[in-house]
Amino acid sequence: MSGFSMLPDLYFSGGKTMWTDARRLPREGLAQALVDARSRTLAWLAAFGQTRRGWDVPRQYDADPPLWTLGHIAWHAEWWCLRGVRQLDRGGVPVPVASEPSLLDGADEWFDADRIGPDERWEIALPDVAVVKRYSADVLDRVLRRVALLPDDDDLTLYPFRRTLLHEDAQAEKVAALLQALGTAPAEPATPGPSISVGQGGTLHFPGGRFTQGWTDADGYAQPDERPPQPTYVPAFEMDAALVSNAQFLEFVEDGGYEHPAWWSASGRQWLMTQERSAPRYWSRHPESRAWMVERFGTLRTLNPDEAVRHVTLFEAQAWCAWAGRRLPAEVEWELAALQNRGLQWGALREWTATPYEPYAGFTAGPSDVDLVSRFVTHQAVRGVSFASPARLRHVRARWALLPEDDFAFVGFRTCAL
> How do residues 294-324 score in pLDDT, each as one tens digit?
999 999 999 999 999 999 999 999 999 999 9
The number of beta carbons lying within 10 Å of the beta carbon of residue 287 is 7
Mutual angle of helices 27-45 and 129-148, in 10-degree steps: 170
The DSSP letter of residue 117 is -
CA 332 → CA 16, 114, 210, 317, distances in Å?
36, 30, 11, 18
Q: Residue 200 contacts by C-beta under 8 Å, 6 or more apart in sequence?
A: 241, 242, 345
> How do residues 155-211 score in pLDDT, each as one tens digit?
999 999 999 999 999 999 999 999 999 999 999 755 555 457 776 679 999 999 999
* 180-217 exposure pattern, b = at least 16 Cβ within 10 A, e = fewer: bbbeeebbeebebeebbbbeeeeebebeeeebebbbee
DSSP track, 55-100: H-PPP-TTS--HHHHHHHHHHHHHHHHTS--EEEEETTEEEEE-SS
Mark out the alpha helices in 255-292 (DSSP H runs).
Answer: 266-273
Sheet strands (E) in 297-409? 299-302, 326-327, 350-356, 380-383, 400-402
Q: Which amino acid is at 257?
A: G
Q: Mapping DSSP to helix (H, G, I), strand (E, B) and coil, where does residue 174 land?
A: helix
Contact assessment for residue 310 and residue 412, using Cβ atoms and an 8 Å cutoff: yes
Bin 346: left if φ > 0, else alpha if -120 < ψ < 50, else beta: beta
> How do residues 136-161 score in pLDDT, each as one tens digit?
999 999 999 999 999 999 999 999 99
Query: Is residue 229 scored above 60 in pLDDT?
Result: yes
Cα(57)–Cα(66) distance, integer angstroms:
8
Cα(47)–Cα(40) distance, integer angstroms:
12
Residue 191, pLDDT score: 55
Contact assessment for residue 182 and residue 203, using Cβ atoms and an 8 Å cutoff: no
Contact assessment for residue 100 and residue 80, using Cβ atoms and an 8 Å cutoff: no
Residue 195, pLDDT score: 58
Instruction: Write down the pTM of the prediction.
Output: 0.94
Sheet strands (E) in 138-208? 203-206
Average pLDDT over residues 53-68: 96
φ/ψ of residue 167, rounded to 5:
-65, -45
State CA 205 to chain mean position distance.
28
> How do residues 19-36 score in pLDDT, each as one tens digit?
788 899 999 999 999 999
Q: pLDDT tier at 17 (50, 70, 90 boundaries)? A: low
Residue 20, pLDDT score: 80
> How do residues 376-414 score in pLDDT, each as one tens digit?
999 999 999 999 999 999 999 999 999 999 999 999 999
Residue 188, pLDDT score: 74
Average pLDDT over residues 54-69: 96
> What is the set of domains in the chain, with CATH numbers?
22-182 (1.20.120), 203-417 (3.90.1580.10)
Q: Which helix (H) or strand (E) holds 237?
A: strand 237-240
Cα(12)–Cα(8) distance, integer angstroms:
12
Bin 259: left if φ > 0, else alpha if -120 < ψ < 50, else beta: alpha
φ/ψ of residue 356, rounded to 5:
-60, 150
Residue 189, pLDDT score: 59
Q: Mapping DSSP to helix (H, G, I), strand (E, B) and coil, where does residue 398 land?
A: coil
Average pLDDT over residues 55-65: 95
Mutual angle of helices 27-45 and 155-182, in 10-degree steps: 10
For the CA atoms of 102, 108, 112, 116, the dihedral, rounded to the nearest 10 degrees, stands at -160
Cα(132)–Cα(10) distance, integer angstroms:
22
